[in-house]
Amino acid sequence: MKIEINKKLIFSDKGPPKIIAEISANHCGNKNKFLNLIKLAHYNGADLIKIQTYQPEDIVINSKNKFYKINEGLWKNKYLWDLYKQAQTPYMWHEDAFKLAKKIGATLFSTPFSVRAVKFLEKHKVKLYKIASLENTDVKLIDTIAKTRKPIIISTGASNFTEIKDALKIINRYHNKVIILHCVSAYPTSLEEANLYRIIKLKKTFKKNIIGLSDHTNSIDSSLASIPLGASVIEKHFKDNKKNNSPDTAFSILPSDLKVLKYKSELYFNATKLNDNKDTNKADQKNSKSKRSIFALNNIKKSEKISEKNIISLRPKIGIGAKYYFKIIGKKAKNKIKKGYPIYFSDLI
């Protein structure tokens, strides 16, 4: 399966994974920093750059009720409204962001968190959408996005397979240009909790979809480890420097990390891919000629029986393969075979 965004950007399991740099809250409320992150991501290897489109009221009520207080984890004791107010990417920044992306040749897209956000993004002619893990049961939002008939990336953190299938049923009313990302909704995710084997399960269950990884660890290790498991898309949160003090900084990578991820993802893919569905590659097939075959250990007379005393298996593979050693014992030479010469089936009777 493949999903074409443009002639240069095609999602497929036939090549190295596409790398998505997620800016999220790493702009720290600074528009210039936000625009610079787009440039940094593009110039350091990101195939796509993702932002988030919402205002806090799109996600939660402004309340200090205990139901809206975070009790553990990275954002412990924060209220949801305050977190999303801090992390939001203002609507008014979007126009300049899409203009910049077009200017530098980058593919910019977004995760909308409301129906109005989808309508807003449609005005900017986005090429694809992302559905966040915690929104993948919001049937109205999913239906609105699917109606655009544009490709969809859907994250599956905190989700069981039934929920994923239910979301797909809605999308499939319109199309099946869907990329499913394995995700763990822990911020940051430890390597012990990465659960990368789930990628294999997703591939077996959702055979008509492209499978990838939304990685919330604080390094690129699990991203690279996902490649031989079949991840065709890798999404990482991206920041500009170590001093970045955003809500997402603990699980975001630097420009240097992004560049390494892009480079090594190609190396890992090429090192682990299965060539033409064969169990050997071209280099092995070529070098198989260097294996052993059977040679005359001594001069062998016409009609002389082949025995362990007059043959030997040596490199390279020219005549009868060494695996037939015992099968030719007892056969007779059709003609004289000189010492050191390979033996062929045509030499025997």
Q: How many angstroms separate the CA atoms of 164 and 162, rounded?
A: 5
CATH number at residue 93: 3.20.20.70
pLDDT at residue 281, as a whole number:
67
Q: Establish if 76 belongs to a structural domain.
A: no
CATH number at residue 289: 3.90.1210.10
Q: How far is CA 279 from each of CA 267, 271, 282, 325, rounded to the nearest angstrom?
A: 19, 14, 10, 25
Structure pTM? 0.88
Residues 95 and 46 in one domain: yes
Strand partners, 65: none
DSSP 8-class letter at 220? S
Please, is 241 exposed, middle or buried when counting C-beta atoms within 10 Å of its C-beta (0-12, 13-18, 19+)?
exposed
* The last residue of a domain, from among 249, 273, 297: 273
Domain total of the chain: 2
Residues 35 and 161 in one domain: yes
pLDDT at residue 171, as a whole number:
98
Residues 222 and 333 in one domain: no
DSSP H helical ranges for 105-138: 115-123
pLDDT at residue 1, as a whole number:
87
Q: How many angstroms separate the CA atoms of 91 and 68, rounded?
A: 24
Residues 161 and 292 in one domain: no
* The last residue of a domain, from among 238, 253, 273: 273
* The last residue of a domain, from among 231, 254, 273: 273
Residues 6+ apart with CB under 8 A from 280: 288
Residues 209 and 247 in one domain: yes
pLDDT at residue 282, as a whole number:
72
Q: Establish if 2 belongs to a structural domain.
A: no
pLDDT at residue 279, as a whole number:
65
Residues 260 and 291 in one domain: no
3-state secondary structure of 348: strand
Q: Establish if 140 belongs to a structural domain.
A: yes
Decide: 76 and 82 in contact? Cβ < 8 Å: no
Q: Establish if 68 belongs to a structural domain.
A: no
Terminal CA-CA length for the chain: 53
Q: Establish if 81 belongs to a structural domain.
A: no
Strand partners, 158: none
CB atoms inside a 10 Å sphere around CB 35: 17
pLDDT at residue 216, as a whole number:
98
Per-residue pLDDT of the chain (349 residues; tens, 9 = 90+): 899 999 999 999 999 999 999 999 999 999 999 999 999 999 999 999 999 999 999 999 999 999 999 999 999 999 999 999 999 999 999 999 999 999 999 999 999 999 999 999 999 999 999 999 999 999 999 999 999 999 999 999 999 999 999 999 999 999 999 999 999 999 999 999 999 999 999 999 999 999 999 999 999 999 999 999 999 999 999 999 999 999 999 999 999 999 999 999 999 999 998 766 566 667 777 787 889 999 999 999 999 999 999 999 999 999 999 999 999 999 999 999 999 999 999 999 9
Q: Establish if 74 belongs to a structural domain.
A: no
Residues 245 and 268 in one domain: yes
Residues 94 and 36 in one domain: yes
Segments forming the whole domain that contains residue 239: 15-54+89-273
Residues 204 and 327 in one domain: no
Residues 329 and 259 in one domain: no
Residues 44 and 116 in one domain: yes
Q: Establish if 5 belongs to a structural domain.
A: no
Q: Establish if 314 belongs to a structural domain.
A: yes
Residues 36 and 177 in one domain: yes
